[in-house]
Structure 1
């Protein structure tokens, strides 16, 4: 297999730089829940107002990902990552200055969503996937996903410390400076991508082919559930714990623990996906998530139960990423990996939109998150059922197609 590369852009270097970009991008993104209470209190907004902007962010992130992925597939990822990093940093700065819900929607929602589309999974995983041999691809994607998890673990305490020391507005500007570091790293992602096997296939043909495959739709809707659960938990778990009488630091630590344990989870599921059935691992992840949420709801709310739940969810958190992206590459090939992975990721972000927004809406209407937790359990069952019939075999195409 011919792997596209230049003399110094080795697979190892691309994996390391890609993991570092995911660390910065995903780490800052996961601090959103820390700003919910201070920003709503400062502006007199409802939780739904804040949640809606983050929901827009997730939706824009998902809608833009296929286009960012297609551009990266055709022209290389360097330009995509560079421009997206600048948009991301600008969104954080304007988010600190937003004084109305509309300004908040445009900054925290639209600009940061566009920034995330070019600095996270669809684009970065596409580059890493193209530069990795098939037998090592799932593990490499798992290691890169662990970078995003490490960012969640490492950046959350920094974000909370910045809020405590300088206030939420200054904290957002300083986090924007951190995101700005992604821009120079984009040079390593400029992989000079050339069409690999199946290079004669057009974008339209690739889209039509994927649209006719039931497995592509199953992956899309399974990822939808993943997005709903992760967005709801990430944004609302800190407030849920504070509402239950625990401290803000307990909530911050719980979210950080998700990131810490997801380092091990992403690595494990990436490794296991290279040695066994990826779709069976997805079934297990979604099923165990539902059981974990149910047990968390039945147990008394304590620091120990919160941190135990965070640890279990962390192991399962982004294990879906190397498995889902690995299945897209395994079934459809590498030529349009970033674009097709971006389309499947759109399902994830549609779920994220609902998880972030609906959590706030349910709380404002009922004064409780109970219904949102129940929906998460039901969706776990549906995601497991969607993952089970996925056909993992590579598509057979006519010669020259």
Structure 2
């Protein structure tokens, strides 16, 4: 959540941020009103308690009618103190509940607008001209079938829509991507982490995933646990309720986990293939640093993402998301979008967000330096979302006969293999039935 003191001192900035996000501007004034009620009730409580203590010193020395009057006043004060304490607690709870509903303040450099108002910052590589090469590109699902790598028919049979199996070279390619991505992260100084896939409500709420995207989250009612949609959640919660010495920063973690998303609101989108699925593996970069270093660290995360996509030989563009397309926790976000030949457009493969002190404040994470304690800045960035990256590799590196040339960075993890070649028989339930 945002800093309540900042809200009091500069409410106009918070209102502007809410407006830029397309969120309720009046919520800012509701928080300020609840906070004023909390502060006034706190003052009233302190005044009554002071009078109560003073009265307690007078009663032992009083006699007769004077003592009776003091005792009567003591009873009145006891009731008033109790009522003031209740009001103080209720006002504080209301202020906190309202404050939790305000999204992070939009970074001053983020473009203003909605989903379509992103800004293209740079492009790397050029899409292949398949027409000049004399053949039409196949999409990743057709290629995956030819290679014996992807089986969505049996995935749907077993688990329903947006499900799949990675088989044979598809499974090996997925594992190679994970190992290569982790190797790059370790070289860059990240500590590898295998994270929990199940988290408590405090972790999910603390990272801001129980607000605008709650419908996209899987919840296990019997256990009151959530399946994570990204290892960002357990990585952010790793230091929940802890104080970190500033000398240890930055802390950089590379988390690997399976991710689960209901894909609510995506009806009819990307129903073919493995681009948008309910379950996928991902390597995620996560950083805890000082607020002063947050912007620079954000650029470093983006640089590592570009390095990764360059190593895979994928044409891609870097875009900055507009204010109305930011997640609740993100103050600023960059996406790397790879060219997908069969779709003839760029699609998101990686994303990196600066959540400033927003998540740390919600998770009660603090850093300690010479000035005392304060919330650190937390940042996250996808390094490799396996299924989307497989789709991009198959389509961009395909050959006319359905073979796929492997990027050099992956070959050591595939026993030196340079080429994926069509299998003797395609995979899929329909193919098996034929």
Greater share of strand: 2
TM-score by structure 1 length?
0.22
TM-score by structure 2 length?
0.21
Specify the structure having the higher radius of gyration (Cα): 2
Greater share of helix: 1
